[in-house]
Amino acid sequence: MKTLLIIGIGAGDPDYITMQAVKALNRTDLFFLMDKGPAKDALIDLRRELCERYIERPGYRFVEAPSPERARGAGVDYQASVAELNRDKQRTFERLIDEELADGETGAFLVWGDPALYDSTIRILRAILDSGRCVFEFEVIPGITSVQALAAQHKVPLNRIGRPVEITTGRRLAAGQVSAADSLVVMLDAEDAYRQVADQDLEIYWGAYLGTPQQLLIAGRLGDVAAEIERVRKAARQANGWIMDTYLLRKPLLRKPED
């Protein structure tokens, strides 16, 4: 029987990896690396660095494959494009598992952050099993998310006492999503959607490349720092060819008037 591990490797800092993940790395014979192009070579390099740092036994190997791209642009249906992307990934994963992983071996996908938060690897492996074209067992090893790293770097709790936290996407915020949560975490914001609510009385805690040497942090009243975040985001994307950022929007505390 083939075994697959979906290992959460944290949000960028090699020290974010858990002891459970280290043990999983040391069980793995073959690591599948999905190549997203030259601009994101750093993401592949980090995965290799983690293996070199934490694996004690020799003989493990890597196999790389081009990662399918999602259709983008005006007029593209987002939900349909994501579904097609995952079908393309499913075909790629099926081929790799069938051709590269021998019976009795353990293969692993190294997932940025945590496999359960805004990642489709679990869904894709379940779809492969449901298709019946590959037979394997799989395990999921959790990791530190960019949400946790963001709160730690800004030295703030995610929630207010007794109040809810909501995690959403930039796409939904841009579309006018209304949230009753005191604390709103926004991920996957490609279009600076925080500008849509810059006129509201909100605090923002923003971070990009969390846990990496390129880490960027900005915090303050949203109306005061929105332009700075937009400028820094644009410059960072141009300099690195990509950006991964997350932010927390929070309603300010109501202070009691002085007696």
Give the separation between CA 190 and CA 72, rounded to whole angstroms: 12
Asked whether this chain's domains 2-141 and 146-250 adopt the same fold, the reply is no
Residue-by-residue pLDDT tens, the chain, 259 positions? 999 999 999 998 999 999 999 999 999 999 999 887 775 677 888 899 999 999 998 999 999 998 888 887 777 788 888 888 888 999 999 999 999 999 999 999 999 999 999 899 999 999 999 999 899 999 999 999 999 999 999 999 999 888 889 999 998 888 887 677 889 999 989 889 999 999 899 999 999 999 999 999 999 999 999 999 999 999 999 998 889 999 999 988 765 445 4
Give CA 216 to chain center in angstroms: 16
Q: CATH homologous superfamily of domain 146-250? A: Tetrapyrrole methylase, C-terminal domain (3.30.950.10)
Phi, psi of 3 (to 5 degrees): -125, 135
The residue whose two tokens read 């926004």 is 186
**Structural tokens at position 181:** 């949560």
Q: Which amino acid is at 34?
A: M
Give the separation between CA 45 and CA 230, rounded to whole angstroms: 28
- Measured between its terminal Cα atoms, the distance across the chain in Å is 72
Instruction: Give 207's strand partners.
Output: 217, 246
Structural domain boundaries in the chain: 2-141, 146-250
Instruction: Give 184's strand partners.
Output: 166, 249
Our separate counts of H helices and E strands in the chain read 7, 10
Q: Tell me how far apart the 2 most distant CA atoms of the chain are, in Å.
A: 74
CATH of domain 2-141: 3.40.1010.10
In terms of DSSP H, where are the helices of the chain? 19-25, 41-54, 78-100, 121-131, 146-154, 170-174, 222-240
Give the separation between CA 150 and CA 248, rounded to whole angstroms: 8
Instruction: Give 107's strand partners.
Output: 4, 30
Whole-number Cα distances in Å, 134 to 5, 94, 121, 126: 15, 7, 15, 10
Question: Which has the closest alpha carbon to 99: 63, 139, 129, 126?
Answer: 63
State the angle between helix axes of 78-100 and 121-131 in degrees (0 to 180), rounded to the nearest 10. 70
